[in-house]
Amino acid sequence: MAAVAAALVVTACGTAGGDGTAAVPPPVSAADLAKVTLEVGDQKGGVKSLLTAANLLQGTPYKVEWATFTSGPPLLEAASAGAIDTGRVGNTPPIFAAAAKAKIKVISVSRSNVEREALLVPPDSPLQNVAGLKGKTIGVAKGSSAHGQLLNTLHNNGLSTKDVKLSFLQPSEAYAAFSQHTIDAWAIWDPYTAQAQIEAHARVLADGRGASNGLGFLTASTAALADPGKNSALRDFAVRVVKAQKWADTHREEWAQAWAKETGLKLEVARKAVEAGRDQPIVLDDAVVASEQQLADAFADEKTLPGKVDFAAFVDRRFGPDLDQARSNG
């Protein structure tokens, strides 16, 4: 892995980014890279425990410091402010960040099983279909992937977010409200979906099929991408995440145990969250951008965003060749 890291440092070039919007800094020496500290945002221990389980945090030619966030939107706010350099989020946070003109870019992408993105109701709820949610209160983290899935789920059933009452809650708050029946439904993602199913016997009213593209993004601050040392570290880190995602797909039990250990989740919850398959890295291509643009337009049409978002302007494909190789070689 050290050899791979060294190769990544010397292959950086001082040309425009893959999307043509940003210049790529020149490479740095191994000595300079050793002075870099990469500040990484994480949610529920997901990336940290994944890299740890896959033994891919060993031998990084730079230091890594971690910060934990409740969901994607606050993580991207921190990235835009320069408090962190990188972090992984779902499909919707970058859209809200783009609308706020955040100083971030999407640098790699993966796709997960959308059946684990769920609209949950308590086991004793009288609700039997999405149409029955009209006038009901739904808990969701604003600007999260669950917000996007909820928007499309409602649209697919002849409703809009104006037909329901949205209660904007972070996952821990929403879980408490859900358990206490102070909200009628909860739009959420794993591992919280699995936790609610196992511990609160939640019932799935609808999942992400036909309502979510299942995309998740590794993002970076524009400041980090412009910094020679941090850009080199980001290149190496993004490759490690891809390799870890591929590893996890064939080592689900090891991944579940590591995730449970890192976060304090019950092992059965972690197992349920990974049994259907976790994130698999894919190409950050025009089809991905188009899918995100459709979601952004849907939010803009509902006046949830202040105006139209050009998602392509927040995509940087500079690491594409390295990520292609990582996906191919595992």
Q: Are residues 281 and 138 in the same domain?
A: no
Question: Which CATH number belongs to the domain containing residue 154 in this structure?
Answer: 3.40.190.10
Domain count, the chain: 2
Q: What is the pLDDT of residues 170-214, one digit of tens each?
A: 999 999 999 999 999 999 999 999 999 999 999 999 999 999 999
Cβ atoms of residues 120 and 186 within 8 Å: yes
Q: Are residues 67 and 90 in the same domain?
A: yes
β-pairing, 165-168 vs 137-140, is parallel
Q: Tell whether pTM > 0.85.
A: yes
| Residue 109 confidence (pLDDT) | 98
User: Best-predicted range by mean pLDDT among 42-46, 252-256, 260-264, 287-291?
Assistant: 287-291
What's the domain range around 172? 115-207
Answer yes or no: is 3 within a domain.
Answer: no
Q: Are residues 134 and 59 in the same domain?
A: no
Q: Are residues 254 and 238 in the same domain?
A: yes
Q: Are residues 224 and 317 in the same domain?
A: yes
Answer yes or no: is 7 within a domain.
Answer: no
Residue with tokens 């980090």: 224
Of the three residues 143, 177, 207, the one that is the final residue of a domain is 207
